[in-house]
Every structure is written in C-alpha cells, then in structure tokens.
Amino acid sequence: MIRKILIANRGEIAVRIVRACNEMGITAVAVYTDADRHALHVKKADEAYNIGPESVAGYLNVHRLVNLAVATGCDALHPGYGFLSENPTLAEICRARGIKFIGPTAEVIRRMGDKTRAREAMIKAGIPVVPGSDGNLDSLDDARRVADKIGYPVMLKATSGGGGRGIRRCDSPQELENSFARVTSEAIKAFGSADVFLEKAIVNPRHIEVQVLADEHGNVIHLFERDCSIQRRHQKLIEIAPSPQLDEELRQTIGEYAARAADVVGYTNAGTVEFLLADDGNVYFMEMNTRLQVEHTVTEQITGIDIVKRQIHIANGELLGIAQEDVSRRGFAMQFRINAEDPKNDFLPSFGVVTRYYAPGGPGVRTDGAIYTGYEIPPYYDSLCVKLTVWALTWPEVLDRAARALSDIGVYGVRTTIPYYREMLTTDEFRSGSFNTAFVEAHPELLEYSTKRRRQELSVAIAAAIAGHLGF
Ligand code: ADP
Ligand code: ADP
Ligand code: MG
C-alpha cells in the first residue's frame, strides 16, 4: 500500500501531485532547493526537505532523492514531468531500493525514450510512422543519402531529444550540412548522446496526442486526444481536448493506435502517444512520452478522470477498473500555459516578484499554479507559473469562456503570455478551430497587441477618472 510519496519535482506539478495525495489520504513529501524555500509546493506538502543550493542540480540528483525517500519512510516516488521523469536510472534505483516508481518500468522508459527504437517498435506493430531513416545516422553522408531518398524538407532530430530541443528543419542539402554538426553537438550537451536521425518534415501538420493509462495486469485504455498544434519553437502553448480538427472515425483510429502502441511495448501507468496529422488526413506516430504531461488537465476536464490519482492507484498494483467503452467525454477543454515571459520581447523570461496575483474563477475555470502574491519567481527554473484550464459544453462557448477567464486572471509584477493569448482568441483562424503547428510563426502581428490595447485601456482609465472627478 502506498502511504507516503516523495515528490521529486517543483512548481505547479509538485502542487498538483500534493493535491492528489491529500485527496487519497497519502502523506506528501516535498523537496526544495535554497531558491525554492518559499515555493508553494513546500508550503502545501506534509513534509519538506532541502536538497541543496540554488540551481537545478538538487532536482537531478538521483541518489540523493532516492536516499531521502528511503530515509523519510516513503514507499513511492512521483517524478512529475521534466527533470528526472524520463530517466530510466531513477526508475531502476527506486526498484532496487524498494521504492515504487510512479511511472512505467526502466526498460520501457529506455526503449521509448530512444526515438529510433520507439519508431522500430511501432513499425513492427503496424502503426504508421513518419517516413525517415532506419535508425540513427552514421554520418553527414548517410544523412544526405536518406534525405535524397525521402525528399526535402526533412527534420533532423536528436534521438534522445525532448522539450522541443534538438530538432531542426532542413529544406535543402546545404541546410542539412549546416545543421548536422549543430544538432549533433546540441544533442550531446542537452541529452548526453550524439545520436540523430531523419524524418520527412510534414508540412503544416497538426500535433495530436493521445493519453493512455495501463495497469500492471495488462489492461490498457486511452482517454481520447489533445490538440497541441499551438506551439512556438516546437514547444506547446495551448492544448485542447478533444481536437476540433478530427472526425469520429479518425478519433477512433488514433485512439486505437495509441492503445496498441502502449500494449505492444508492455507499457504501465500514464503515458502519451504523440502523432502528426497531415493535410491529407494521414496520421503518423511521432514519439511517446513516458510520464505525466503538462497538459493532462484538459483530458481530466473532458473525461472526469483524475489522471494523477489513477497513476497512484496503478502504481499500487490495482486494476484499472474502467473499460474502454466506459470512458466518456463531454464538451471541450482548453489549457493556456501562462509563462513568465515577455511575448513582446521574443518571449524573454521575466523573473522577479509577483506583486499581485488573482486567480480567476466562475463556471468551468481551473487553475494549476505555483505562484501567490509576494512570491518571487526564481531565475533557475521553468517559466511556467500557472496553467489556466477552461471547460465548456461547446466549442464556441469554450472560446468565450477562455476569453473571459483570461481577462479575469491577474498576474502583476512580471510579464506573462496572458495578453498574447487574449489577442490570439480574437482571430477568426483560431476561433474556426482549424490551425496547424505554423500558426504562431505565421501570425507575428499578434505580438503587436500591447500598444494598441494599452492605448485603449489607458483612454478607458482616463475617461473613468474624469467621470469620477466630475462626480458622474
Ligand atoms: P509536455 O510534453 O508535457 O507538453 P514539454 O515537452 O513541454 O511537456 O516538457 C515539459 C517540461 O519538461 C518542460 O519544462 C521541458 O523543458 C521539460 N523537458 C521535457 N523533456 C525534457 C528532456 N528530455 N530533458 C530535459 N527537460 C525536458
Ligand atoms: P520533443 O521530444 O521535443 O517533444 P517531438 O518529436 O515530439 O519532440 O516534436 C516536437 C514538435 O516538433 C512537434 O510537436 C511538431 O510540431 C514538430 N515536429 C516534429 N517532427 C516533425 C515532422 N516530422 N514534421 C513536422 N513537424 C515535426
Ligand atoms: Mg513531443
């Protein structure tokens, strides 16, 4: 029985996991670095332990975290996302020390974390993959040969990549030559492996991914898809469930592919299978994320299933207890990643003190945040400070609710992506529900909001002040 969990993470996801523990009567143990001593997850957890100085090192120290889990009497460890969540060594060491790792086995993490091995497994299972190289590339010459065969444009990708890094589109042999050394060295630095491979670049694709849950007794279900096409530099900004761009037939096909993918690799716990949907309606497997995802909230809102609690039940050895036909969905949910970044200044991180924070409310509004009034966002970590998730029965209603919630929320003292999202919601293209991964790059004018908006807001404020002064 899992009674006490060490949460090897920080920020909003650590808070999210504490909340699940609270509801289940499980003791939540937080860890924090010096920079995080005033963080919300530390305040919310039942116990909290310092794991070292400022910087990320503490959250990446496998042995220290597992030792702490053992020493504090935890029986499980939740890795969240990012940091060590896809590190097979952590899963292995947990197993060796008698701590249940809340995620799949080390073997599955290793296999699916290697994008070329994952592709091979999918090809064997009869799931379409993006046309590309057979395994890793040996050399630039090898890359040129493969690219000539599959045709430009191509995507050069780090085999162990993640978080939108280590990916470059190459439109010509010249670009491939220029990018090869760069992506290889980037891959070594960021992921500790120089392995790269090639895929055909799908032009203007939609990013569609499917949430799966698998217990330790061979039962696998999917919880429908999320549309994560609104991205900047291969990083997601807005996620939507279900996708407004799929018909029922395609929805079913993609869901079946995802469940089959999880099944053939012996997947356990929660995971996500990512696909690209091309203009011609073809779908291709892209990669699998062997962890909880940032955007799991939208799936929770449409299905009513608490994914984090399910993860803990599964890790506890329990049966899923839900058959595929019992998974239902209702309405639309949309999540906005509110990052402390200045959209007007190339999304430069904007750290510092949150002088005032007001969380929005009302029907169908959910926030998963890590900030509070007076909190200082440290410069060492992710710029994600709040996830705003809205739900409504219909697509037009979820758009209106999103606009309302984005005008309701207040984050002051740091710059955020909120005004950018407000602007995006006014465009016909976004509202039509038909967009692809090029949307953000294709609409630089949305970044021009502030002068226009601010002038409007200023004139409204001046008019109000004058009216007040005159006693209206
Ligand atoms: P999701 O797939 O859940 O949408 P992201 O790709 O945005 O998640 O990644 C979530 C967080 O984890 C981000 O902060 C990202 O920087 C980090 N991350 C994801 N993959 C890796 C990785 N392989 N190495 C380091 N950080 C990663
Ligand atoms: P990561 O592990 O960093 O999440 P992914 O392989 O999931 O990397 O790709 C991230 C994003 O890059 C996708 O969501 C998509 O927008 C883009 N992308 C990846 N592969 C392709 C491709 N073959 N063609 C077009 N876009 C792609
Ligand atoms: Mg991905």
- 297 pLDDT more than 70: yes
| Residues noted as catalytic | 291
- 458 pLDDT more than 80: no
Q: How confident is the model at residue 470 (pLDDT cuts 50, 70, 90)?
A: confident
Give pLDDT tens digits for 142-172. Answer: 999 999 999 999 999 999 999 889 999 999 9
Q: Which of 12, 294, 347, 437 to mutate to test the pocket of ligand 1 (most atoms within 8 A of CB)?
A: 294
- 193 pLDDT more than 70: yes
Residue 463's pLDDT is: 83
Check residues 54 and 214 and name the one with the higher pLDDT.
Answer: 214
On average, the pLDDT of the chain sits at 96
Residue 406's pLDDT is: 98
Q: Which of 81, 86, 295 to mutate to test the pocket of ligand 1 (most atoms within 8 A of CB)?
A: 81
Mean pLDDT across 84-110: 98
| This model's pTM is above 0.85 | yes
Give pLDDT tens digits for 322-339. Answer: 999 999 999 999 999 999
Residue 308's pLDDT is: 99
Question: Which atom of ligand 2 lies at the shortest distance from residue 284's CA?
Answer: 23
Residue 459's pLDDT is: 79
| Alpha-carbon gap, residue 298 to 336, rounded angstroms | 10
Which residue's C-alpha comes closest to atom 24 of ligand 1? 162
Residue 348's pLDDT is: 97
Which residues contact residue 116 at a Cβ distance below 8 angstroms, ignoring those fewer than 6 apart? 133, 135, 136, 159, 195, 197
- 450 pLDDT more than 60: no
Give percent above pLDDT 90 in the chain.
94
Question: Which atom of ligand 2 lies at the shortest distance from residue 203's CA?
Answer: 25
Residue 461's pLDDT is: 72
Residue 452's pLDDT is: 61
Residue 462's pLDDT is: 84
| Alpha-carbon gap, residue 248 to 256, rounded angstroms | 12
Terminal alpha carbon distance of the chain: 66
Are the beta carbons of 55 and 380 closer than 8 angstroms?
A: yes
Q: Which ligand lies nearest the alpha carbon of 294?
A: 1
Q: Which ligand lies nearest the alpha carbon of 170?
A: 2
- 472 pLDDT more than 80: no
| Alpha-carbon gap, residue 442 to 448, rounded angstroms | 13
Mean pLDDT across 27-35: 98
Are the beta carbons of 171 and 211 closer than 8 angstroms?
A: no
- 467 pLDDT more than 90: no
Sign of CA dihedral 163, 218, 122, 138: positive
Three-state SS for 410-472 is EEECCCCCHHHHHHHCCCHHHHCCCCCCCHHHHCHHHHHHHHHHHHHHHHHHHHHHHHHHCCC
Give pLDDT tens digits for 351-380. Answer: 999 999 999 999 999 999 999 999 999 999
- 451 pLDDT more than 90: no
Ligand 3 is a single-atom ion; what residues have CB below 5 A from it? Answer: 274
Helix, strand, coil share (%) of the chain residues, nearest 5: 40, 25, 35
Q: Which domains does the chain have, with CATH numbers?
A: 4-102 (3.40.50.20), 131-200 (3.30.1490.20), 206-458 (3.30.470.20)
Residue 99's pLDDT is: 98
| Alpha-carbon gap, residue 94 to 441, rounded angstroms | 42
Between the alpha carbon of residue 442 and those of residues 155, 232, 256, 325, 334, the distances in Å are 19, 11, 33, 40, 21
Angle at 304 between CA 164 and CA 439, to 5 degrees: 30
Give pLDDT tens digits for 215-257. Answer: 999 999 999 999 999 999 999 999 999 999 999 999 999 999 9
Q: Which ligand lies nearest the alpha carbon of 228?
A: 2
- Ligand 2: does its nearest atom lie under 6 Å from the Cβ of 155? yes
Check residues 126 and 459 and name the one with the higher pLDDT.
Answer: 126
Between the alpha carbon of residue 151 and those of residues 255, 267, 428, the distances in Å are 29, 34, 34
Give pLDDT tens digits for 54-93. Answer: 889 999 999 999 999 999 999 999 999 999 999 999 999 9
